[in-house]
Amino acid sequence: MLLRRLSVLLGLALWLNAASAAVPLPSPPSIPGSSHILVDFHTGEVLAEKNPDERVEPASITKVMTTYVIFKQLEAGTLSLDDMVTVSEKAWRAPGSRMFIEVGKRISVQDLLKGVIIQSGNDASIALAEHVAGTEESFADLMNQYAAQLGLTGSHFVNATGLPHPEHYVTARDVAMLARAMIRDFPDYYTWYSEREFTWNGIRQSNRNLLLYRDDRVDGMKTGHTESAGYCLVSSAKDGDMRLISVVMGTSGDRERADASQALLNYGFRFFETHKLYAAGAELSRVKIWKGASEDVGLASAQDIYVTIPRGRYGELDAAMDLGKAIVAPVAPGDVLGVVRVSLDGRELVRAPLTPVEAVEQGGLFRRMVDSVLMLFE
């Protein structure tokens, strides 16, 4: 196997100048609740966790999946923000948190979405579910299909609201994965999760996420509470180019879930750093290509490469490019010709496929004959 060492500072000399000494890394904070997880948005690196795969009731955190499904319909063009939804009696009678919509009234999809996201309205959630799928039960089937696509293997949904049901559950890890998907797939709609209040039917209601009022880095995303689920909170915060997602489940109070989430976010931002090492499509190296119309070919990562590491250890990263075999023309963009690996202390942090930055056609007959001979001695 052909292996080449790469400088992780390729095109990033500025970071080298800004590198600081390694910071001692303490244990993650001990916080209340049944389970929690802290992950980096770009890399998915887990920075702290407790019982992350334990099945728990999500309460209104369910509505992150509800809105994800709605956004998918908007993306597909089967739904519009201006579509008008007729409120059913079931939606109007929904127990728990409410947007205070009225039976028989017609309300836009956009207003209902804000009622779900900001006011956590169970009535708005049911109205949207029925409009999209006919019944809330059919909508729950859509939720489970999208959950499967996202790899949420520890979650199952039976309603659009999060009201308690024995077969309605999530895990903290799955909630973090869902939050990452929401921010990645729908960044424009995600901004609604940062809005602090929404007025409907003459009633002004505030967002229940206390972190929106106390930490400017926090821009979402959803609270949840029932007696059986306790107080839950999935939060996301951005500091510079680094974004973290925290999930706290099953605490005993509103302030407790906010304090616990704040502790996790502070820990992550203080003791870790995330770097974008290589951009998708940016040439990392040029390597020999046999029997080609040109002598070499540029290789690039097929995706942006980020790493999350303990603060101050950037200079200790090790990057290598592995080519499984000699590269022979023709090649085209999209062909996987090798991998780039980035490690720290011998632990592989990321592995990404390498593809050619340009197509290389076969060379002429003489080139192919010469290279055929030379390859015998490689």
Supply the DSSP symbol for 1: -
Which one of 88, 120, 235, 261 is the catalytic residue? Answer: 120
Total Cβ atoms within 10 A of residue 352? 18
Q: Is 235 a catalytic residue?
A: no
Burial class (CB in 10 A: 0-12, 13-18, 19+), 82: exposed
Q: Is 246 in the active site?
A: no
Residue for token pair 């963009």: 333
Closest CA to 164 of 228, 72, 112, 71: 228
Whether residue 221 contacts residue 207, with contact meaning beta carbons closer than 8 Å, is answered with: no
CA angle, residues 200, 205, 211, in degrees to nearest 5: 140
- Is 325 tagged catalytic? no
Closest listed residue to residue 357, CA positions, set 279, 301, 276: 301
> Distance between CA atoms of 116 and 96, rounded to whole angstroms?
12
Among candidates 184, 156, 146, which has minimal Cα distance to 40?
A: 184
Catalytic residue among 60, 97, 155, 235: 60
List active site positions: 60, 63, 120
